[in-house]
Amino acid sequence: MKQISQPVVKKDAAALLSGKPVYTDDLAMKDCLIIKLLRSPHAFAKIKKIDTSKALRIPGIEAIFTYEDVPNTRFTLAGQTYPELSPYDGKILENIVRYVGDEVAIIVGKDEMCCEQAKKLIQVEYEVYEPLLDFTKAIDNKIVVHPEDDYKYLVDIGNEVKRNIVSQGRDEAGDVEKELSLCDVVIERDYHTKANAQAMMETFRSYAYLDAYNRLNIVSSTQIPFHVRRIVANALELPKSKIRVIKPRIGGGFGAKQTACCEIFSAFVTWKLKKPSKIVYTREETFMASNSRHEMKMHVRVGAMKDGTICAIDLHTLSNTGAYGEHGPTTVGLSGHKSLPLYKLNASCFSYEVVYTNTMRAGAYRGYGATQGIFAVESAINELADALKMDPCELRLKNMVEEGDIMPQYYNETANSCTLKDCLLKAMELIDWKNKSLKTDLGDKVRGLGVALAMQGSGIANVDVGSVRIKLEDDGFYTLSIGATDMGTGCDTILAQMAAECLDCEVDQIVVQGVDTDSSPYDTGSYASSTTYVTGMAVVKACEQLKEKIVKEAALLMQTKEEELVFDGKMIRTLDENKAMSLNEFAYLCAAGGKGKMLMADDSHSSMVSPPPFMAGIAEVDVDKLTGEITMHDYVAVVDCGTVINTNLARVQVEGGIAQGIGMALLEDIVYDKNGRMIANSFMQYKLPTRKDVGEIRVDFMPSYEPTGPFGAKSIGEVVINTPSPAIASAVAHASGQYVRTLPITPEKVLGFKHED
Amino acid sequence: MKISLTVNGRKIQEDIQESMLLIDFLRSHGYTSVKRGCETSNCGLCTVLMDDHPILSCSMLAARADGHSIVTLEGAGKEAEAFAEFMAKEGAEQCGFCSPGLIMNVIAMKKELKNPTKEEIKQYLSGNLCRCSGYMSQMRAIEKYLQEESV
Ligand code: FES
Ligand code: FES
């Protein structure tokens, strides 16, 4: 293969690296009205009165909108395929505010300064309620976060809103209690992962304007342009045909932009005032008033025999969705369905509840629940190894899922491509596992080793769809229209590589376009690790079609039979080589002279399965004996993502995911004060890993071949964030003797100074 | 108030609000490579050069640039291009939002440090956050760039 498994440079590299104006705020017209939001200072309150009269007198203020001015419909901001599994529980503005940061009023003015001034002059009278802040006490609490009658959900998700339960369920395969009762050892532990900020460098932003047809155009930094079209249509009570969404380059998403946090505001303002408007969230707003990872508490029981045979795992997850239910019912599922299948088990059980509280809404963040579940399950497996005095890698090699296995907790799918064992063996080799011990005394510090496995999915089976259109242009190049959204991950380039491979041409010959819901083919968006796998397959199908069309049309023009022709990407010739035509010539003939016709092909793809990528990660960390300080020394990660399409971009995905995982493991923690106000709401308090914090990250691949994927590929974007937390927790435990089960693993917890919860 | 400064070699004179930040001044003049990632001087995205030294344009009033010379990525020319090529070859620009600030700081570092070690590089650039890349590919690009330039 010429274009696949190559380190092809990203198509947008030159623009990005020369600072071209390609992001939302660079493109917004200069005369946009500026939008600022007044946010609630209370975690739970009813707005009794709002007086905007003084604020409206500030020069430059154009309008101020309150709950009385907006449509009354409830909807969800979650970017999911209709019918969404997230409940319709929010409005543009409402007279009840449910967390500190919830929107109270929309201020529109000529510049930021006048909006900020006006904000201070809006007088709001609140009836303050006691908030529900502890998610472990949410179920059947006397405080009900959503008491309203017009609350609704579209799909049965086990919802009991008056008990604060968004969703609940249970999946059992085999008889867990019986299996556990037969085991020699049962490890029973509680693990707790915190809400984390996705913290993409470009905060939420969008602008809107009306076009010549009086349609609402929204330019947004989003992962889900087609879902934004629906969400805005729902919120504004408009037909979708009135709305167009455009996605330029995005400064990172990681799932955050799978929730349409800010688009409804610019859309509403522009629709109302018939003028262009723009909203750019501050970093503080992005922290405290958008969405985060779901905080989860997990109770795990793992049963095994003395020889290290793991027999059964029981996992219960309690998930905090915050004030609104975006992605709540779906993320929780992954905590079990993408952790338990890592092992061959006689029986397993996964049960869960997702609850409302008066904290910021949770949403999608890379890993989407799998990260949390894998922290719990892999930590428990590590604790089991220690209890059995077995090498944690040996224990895994003995029990892990293998190619051909049916995975009962993974919707009974078969692992058709899986090199997990090779991944672990390779990781062991890279770190020199055999010659090291789990704990090495270095004097002031102790070095520890820890390991973890992970999996994820590739797209959402039977739900999501990717479509593409490819056209042959008059100069013999191709334009590839896709609806999938490159958010920096390089999917535009990866999909172009696939097209180039199919059409036997150079990647430069494939022109890729950004997403515009008017002209791009429908795609559910870039999330759930779907682009390479789902949209990639659509590319392959469309290109095959186009090739056939080229040959068919050429047969007409060359007055020969289709079967007589071969197309090698550059030339179309007859088998006997008597007649030949270059693709250029052919393309010109198609475009001109009344002889031919323009050729294009489109296709969509939706998969019946979601083949998991797998990986193994090993962490080597140093713990300071005196201070408990943890330093990352080395991290090796070996990934099975099927065929690697772009060797550079895949590697950087892994490195980036591991670094984020290290942040989750050691640093990142969204904390609230006792009144429900988020304390860590800037990079000052919420520490992202810097280049000094991540140590050395080393990456390798053990490609399997996924029969249902394009060129054998699976996904890679999400699985890579899942191993650091459990691997580092175990490494720290080996070094310090302290098993930290509540993230992040801080020096205080390592030294046992701080009670974990 | 009136200020007069040079941006990428071009003289600009303008009446500005005293409270205007340099980043907003630059962006309003079309130098949109200058990005903002925070309000607390923690991310480094807004790095530009003032009289050849890296500064955070989000933490400086435009007024303080009066009489000085500012260079943004748009005006960084050959040096930026040379380094950008190494970045592209590593796939180190993911979303690319942090790239302009990083590139400016790398250019400044190259002037300031002679044959820096890995640790010195990390130290110098520690204020440049990147959420996408995990920093390894950036380091590969930087090392190759410095090596190339020194031969
Ligand atoms: S914008 Fe973050 S440091 Fe300047
Ligand atoms: S490339 Fe996205 S933040 Fe650095």
CATH number of residue B110's parent domain: 1.10.150.120
Among partner residues B39, B73, B133, which is closest to A655 by beta-carbon distance? Answer: B133
What is the rounded distance in angstroms from the CA atom of residue A657 to the CA atom of residue A368?
A: 13
Which residue on chain A is closest to B27 by alpha carbon?
A26
What is the rounded distance in angstroms from the CA atom of residue A623 to the CA atom of residue A734?
A: 10
A660-693: burial string, b at 16+ Cβ within 10 Å, e else: bbbbbbbbbbbebeeebbbebbbbeebbbbbbeb
The rounded Å distance from CA A689 to ligand 2 centre is 13
Q: Hey, what are B31's tokens?
A: 């130098």
Query: pLDDT per residue over A300-311, tens digit each?
Result: 999 999 999 999
Domain that includes residue B12, residue range: 2-71
Under the banding of pLDDT at 50, 70 and 90, the label for residue A369 is: very high
Which of B36, B38, B90, B95 gets mutated to test ligand 2 (max ligand atoms within 8 A of its CB)? B95
Long-range (24+ apart) CB contacts under 8 A made by A212-216 are: A215/A241, A215/A242, A215/A243, A215/A244, A216/A242, A216/A243, A216/A244, A216/A267, A216/A270, A216/A271
What is the rounded distance in angstroms from the CA atom of residue B93 to the CA atom of residue A23?
A: 14
What is the rounded distance in angstroms from the CA atom of residue A40 to the CA atom of residue A595?
A: 66
Q: Please tell me the predicted confidence (pLDDT) of residue A755.
A: 63
Under the banding of pLDDT at 50, 70 and 90, the label for residue A598 is: confident
Query: pLDDT per residue over A232-290, tens digit each?
Result: 999 999 999 999 999 999 999 999 999 999 999 999 999 999 999 999 999 999 999 99
Same-domain status, B125 and B62: no
How many domains does chain B contain in total?
Answer: 2
Same-domain status, B90 and B146: yes
The rounded Å distance from CA B119 to ligand 1 centre is 23
Q: Before A744, cis peptide (omega within 30)?
A: yes
Under the banding of pLDDT at 50, 70 and 90, the label for residue A712 is: very high
Q: Please tell me the predicted confidence (pLDDT) of residue A756.
A: 58
CA angle centred on A685, ends A680 and A689, rounded to 5°: 115
ipTM of model = 0.98
DSSP string, A212-226: TTS-EEEEE--S-HH
Number of inter-chain CB pairs under 8 A, A vs B: 170
Total count of residues recorded for chain A: 757
Residue A161 has pLDDT above 80, yes or no: yes
Helices (H), A165-224: 176-182
Residue A201 has pLDDT above 60, yes or no: yes
CATH number of residue B56's parent domain: 3.10.20.30
Overall average pLDDT of the A560-578 stretch: 94
Q: Distances from the Cα of A72 to the Cαs of A166, A244, A263, A369, B25, in angstroms?
A: 21, 22, 17, 32, 40
Q: Hey, what are B91's tokens?
A: 């796939």
What is the rounded distance in angstroms from the CA atom of residue B131 to the CA atom of residue A253?
A: 10
> Helix axis angle, A328-337 relative to A370-388, nearest 10°?
30
DSSP A597: -
- Please identify, among B39, B71, B103, the residue that sits at the C-terminal boundary of a domain: B71
Under the banding of pLDDT at 50, 70 and 90, the label for residue A526 is: confident
Query: pLDDT per residue over A293-336, tens digit each?
Result: 999 999 999 999 999 999 999 999 999 999 999 999 999 999 99
Among partner residues A12, A652, A682, which is closest to B40 by beta-carbon distance? Answer: A682
Q: Which of residues 216-255 of A touch B (CB under 8 A)?
A: 249-254
Same-domain status, B102 and B143: yes
Among partner residues A18, A282, A688, which is closest to B84 by beta-carbon distance? Answer: A18
Owner of token pair 């999400």: A718
Q: Which residues pair with B122 in a beta bridge?
A: none
Query: pLDDT per residue over A10-49, tens digit each?
Result: 999 999 999 999 999 999 999 999 999 999 999 999 999 9
Overall average pLDDT of the A543-553 stretch: 96
CATH classification code of A466-605 = 3.30.365.10
Overall average pLDDT of the B53-61 stretch: 98
| H or E segment to which residue A380 belongs | helix A370-388
Query: pLDDT per residue over A406-421, tens digit each?
Result: 999 999 999 999 999 9
How far is A263 from chain B, CA to nearest CA, in Å?
A: 19
- Of the residues B8, B26, B32, B94, the best mutation for testing chain A's interface (the one with the most A CB atoms within 10 Å of its CB) is B94
Share of chain A above pLDDT 70, in %: 99
> Helix axis angle, B136-150 relative to B77-90, nearest 10°?
130
The rounded Å distance from CA B47 to ligand 1 centre is 7
Q: Which atom of ligand 2 is nearest to the CA of B95?
A: 2
What is the rounded distance in angstroms from the CA atom of residue A585 to the CA atom of residue A564?
A: 19
Which residue on chain A is closest to B87 by alpha carbon?
A17
Mean confidence (pLDDT) of chain A: 96
Write the burial class of residue A27 (CB in 10 Å: 0-12 exposed, 13-18 middle, 19+ buried). Answer: middle
Q: Which of residues 472-511 of A touch B (CB under 8 A)?
A: 487-490
Q: Which atom of ligand 2 is nearest to the CA of A200?
A: 3
CATH classification code of A13-129+204-280 = 3.90.1170.50
User: Is the model more confident about A590 or about B131?
Assistant: B131
Write the burial class of residue B48 (CB in 10 Å: 0-12 exposed, 13-18 middle, 19+ buried). Answer: buried
Would you say the CB of residue B132 lies under 6 angstroms from ligand 2? yes
For chain B, the 3-state helix, strand and coil shares in percent, each to the nearest 5, are: 45, 15, 40
Cβ-Cβ contacts under 8 Å, A17 against chain B? 80, 84, 87-88, 93, 96, 99, 103
Judged by DSSP in three states, A736 sits in helix
Contacts of A509 (CB under 8 A, 6+ apart): A476, A477, A478, A500, A503
Same-domain status, B60 and B85: no
The residue extents of the domains of chain A are: 13-129+204-280, 295-458+610-750, 466-605
Q: Please tell me the predicted confidence (pLDDT) of residue A757.
A: 57
Would you say the CB of residue B140 lies under 6 angstroms from ligand 1? no
Q: Do B135 and A691 touch (CB under 8 A)?
A: yes
Cβ-Cβ contacts under 8 Å, B21 against chain A? none
How far is A678 from chain B, CA to nearest CA, in Å?
A: 16
Closest CA to ligand 1's atom 3: B41
Under the banding of pLDDT at 50, 70 and 90, the label for residue A592 is: confident
DSSP A534: I
Q: Please tell me the predicted confidence (pLDDT) of residue A487.
A: 86
The rounded Å distance from CA A67 to ligand 2 centre is 37
The answer to whether the A13-129+204-280 and A466-605 domains have the same CATH topology is no
The 3-class SS string of A75-136 reads ECCECCCCCCCCCECECCCCCEECCCCCEEEEEEECCHHHHHHHHHHCEEEEEECCCCCCHH
Q: Please tell me the predicted confidence (pLDDT) of residue A294.
A: 98
Q: How many CB atoms lie within 10 A of CB B149?
A: 12
Q: Do B87 and A13 touch (CB under 8 A)?
A: yes
Which of B35, B56, B104, B129 gets mutated to test ligand 1 (max ligand atoms within 8 A of its CB)? B56
Closest CA to ligand 2's atom 3: B130
Are the CB atoms for A642 and A706 separated by under 8 Å? yes
Same-domain status, B51 and B66: yes
Which of B26, B36, B102, B104 gets mutated to test ligand 1 (max ligand atoms within 8 A of its CB)? B36
Residue B151 has pLDDT above 70, yes or no: no
Q: Please tell me the predicted confidence (pLDDT) of residue B149.
A: 76
For A642: left if phi > 0, alpha if psi spans -120 to 50, otherwise beta; the answer is left
Query: pLDDT per residue over A471-524, tens digit each?
Result: 999 889 999 999 999 988 899 999 999 999 999 999 999 999 889 999 999 888
What is the rounded distance in angstroms from the CA atom of residue A306 to the CA atom of residue A308?
A: 5
Which of B45, B104, B128, B130 gets mutated to test ligand 1 (max ligand atoms within 8 A of its CB)? B45
Q: What is the largest CA-CA distance in chain A?
A: 87
Cβ-Cβ contacts under 8 Å, A514 against chain B? none
Fold of the CATH domain A295-458+610-750: Aldehyde Oxidoreductase; domain 4 (3.30.365)
